Structure 1
Amino acid sequence: MSTRHFAGRFAGKVLVVTGAAQGIGRAVAIRAAEEGGRVVFVDRADFVEAVAAEAGEGNTAAFNADLETHEGATAAMRFAAETFGGIDILINNVGGAIRMRPYAEFEAQQIDAEIRRSLMPTLYCCHAVLPHLFARGGGTIVNVSSNATRGIHRVPYSAAKGGVNAITQSLAMELAERNIRVVATAPGGTEAPPRRVPRNAAGDSEAEKGWMAEVVQQVRQSSFMKRYGTIEEQAAPILFLASEEASYITGNVLSVAGGDIG
């Protein structure tokens, strides 16, 4: 599928994209740079620097950070502001279910890990970026949520993404008078190349592989289109919401899931 680019759409803007080393975040960050933005690629994977270099030198930079900590989020935003003179747009893309299993099968520490991965980076980065957006006189935050707020075998992840939706709506109401928009997309199942950093470093058990297959079937059947989306189909609405074309949109969570609103 061809991807339409909008030359100069982000000219003069500084964007921070988290989770930019692979998947949707990588596609968003590279395309934002191609459309004129100065982009900071943030990820805890070491190869984020090589990914940022793909988008060309001069208007990109890379920063390694663990965004599951407030210290990591604060350091990333400080680096972006110091490197490019400020921040205009934050795209919070870090997250992803670690395990797929019925809720009764989750262990307590696994529940905690899902919340840390898929809620805390957005919560912390939204907080850490605010002084920089205030200094700019406004800006935009785009959170990448999920339509899996309704879905099987990932209740802790669903809860985390429900929290992302709540952050989006509450923060949008609070910050509108400061000229800051807060919006989100809620991607559905998305086809992507094999992950260079696996979602579950411990690997899946045979039971988890079976539960994953059930999730894939549920996601396809819940979509009106009966298919997964592409990375390009996810990146495009994120960048639209980040752009001035969406200047009168705030507080919205846009489902991008072939009709399944989650």
Structure 2
Amino acid sequence: MASGLDGRGVIVTGAGSGIGRATALAFATEGARVLIADLNAESAGAVVKEIEAAGGTAVAVTGDLSEQSVVDQVVATAVERCGGVDVLVNNAGIMDRMSALGEVSDAEWERVIRVNLTAPFLLTRAVLPHMLAAGRGAIVNTASEAGLRGSAAGAAYTASKHGVVGLTKNLAVMYRDQGIRANAIAPGGTATGMIPDIDGEAHGPKALGPYFGNVGRVAQPEEQAAAILFLASDAAANINGAILPVDNGWAAV
């Protein structure tokens, strides 16, 4: 089955590097018009140039996606430059410090929840009117193994990714009769630049350490991107509300 993505307008957040970059390139290869949303203007611009050099269409918007003004700019630009919003990939995220709940500062909690959960909520809410008007839309969120278990990250990150899982499932139920699908991937270990700032003497990292022997092979960003592309494509037309582990079997351990 063809992907059905040729000519579609796609927003990918966190697209300046890692899974987001690989995802943006994958959509562009399928003929989609891609909006690169990222906090880093230099890396976002580099991905736009990479896509354009290959004959694709892309535009960048930079800023903090937990701010409504930035979200509004992203959506308005996608409508103007990409012809609409057919696909939204909420991929941008940050790690916590692997802190146990008793060690989590207000600042760590609020920053992780803001970036990992509030930003996808704001952006999804902003694109919904456009998808509803079109009678179709695909939303793919990047959750995590930490959204499926309690042993993959600290309290803040784990709570944020469980929130992403819940948001995805609720969205799928609420809007399935309006032609909108919502799914998520749950990546395991992946070779990206996301490196947590860990205090090796803190309780959280020490408590989690024994569980990381189950991680298995570390994936490449392109492997996660392939799963995102599939869930957004016409090949997944009857898949809605699914949380797909892309983790070499970690979720099965």
Is the TM-score greater than 0.5?
Answer: yes
1:154 matched to 2:146:
no
Counterpart contact for 1:65–1:75, Cα < 8 Å: no
Once residues 188 and 153 of structure 2 are traced to their aligned partners in structure 1, the CA distance between those partners, rounded to angstroms, is 15
Please report how far the alpha carbon of residue 7 of structure 1 lies from its aligned counterpart in structure 2 after TM superposition. Answer: 8.5
For 1:69 and 1:166, how far apart are their aligned partners in 2?
22
Q: What amino acid is aligned across from residue 38 of structure 1 in structure 2?
A: R
In structure 2, what is the equivalent of residue 125 of structure 1? 123
1:185 maps onto 2:191 in alignment? no
Asked if structure 1 preserves the Cα contact closer than 8 Å seen for 2:12 and 2:91, the reply is yes
1:108-136 per-residue CA deviation (whole Å, 9 max, x = no partner) reads: 22111111121111111110111111222
Q: 1:38 aligns with which of 33, 42, 47?
A: 33
- With over 3 angstroms needed to count, the CA separation of the structure-2 counterparts of 1:213 and 1:11, relative to structure 1, is farther
| Matching residue within 205, 214, 217 for 1:222 | 214
> How many aligned positions are there?
247
TM-score (norm 2): 0.89
Deviations 1:78-132 (A, max 9, x none): 1110112211000110112132222222212211111112111111111011111
What CA distance in whole angstroms lies between the structure 2 residues aligned with 1:153 and 1:168?
20
CA distance in 2, matches of 1:8, 1:240: 8
C-alpha contact (below 8 Å) 1:8/1:36 kept by paired residues: no
Given candidates 207, 212, 229, the residue that maps to 2:201 is 207
Runs of 4+ in 1 over 4 A off after TM superposition: 6-9, 203-206, 210-217
Return closer, same or farther for 1:259/1:124 CA change in 2, 3 Å cut-off: same
Provide the secondary structure at the position in 1 that maps to 2:251: coil
How far off its partner does 1:212 sit? Answer: 5.5
- 1:52·1:60 contact (CA, 8 Å) conserved in 2? yes
CA RMSD of aligned residues (A): 2.4
Match of 2:11 in 1: 16
Alignment of 1:22-61 (within 5 A): 22-47=17-42, 48-56=44-52, 59-61=57-59
Gaps of 5+ in 2: none
Q: Which moved more, 1:164-173 or 1:146-155?
A: 146-155
Alignment of structure 1 residues 30-179 onto 2, 5 Å: 30-47=25-42, 48-56=44-52, 59-149=57-147, 150=149, 151-179=151-179
> C-alpha deviations, 1:143-191, integer Å up to 9, x for none?
1100113225511111111111111111111111110111111111112
TM-score after normalising by structure 1: 0.86
Deviation at 1:74, TM superposition (A): 2.0
Q: Look up the SS of the partner of 2:201 in the other structure.
A: helix
CA spacing shift, 1:259–1:204, aligned 2, 3 Å: closer
- SS of structure 1 residue aligned to 2:36: strand
> What are the ranges of 5 or more consecutive residues in structure 1 without an aligned counterpart?
1-5
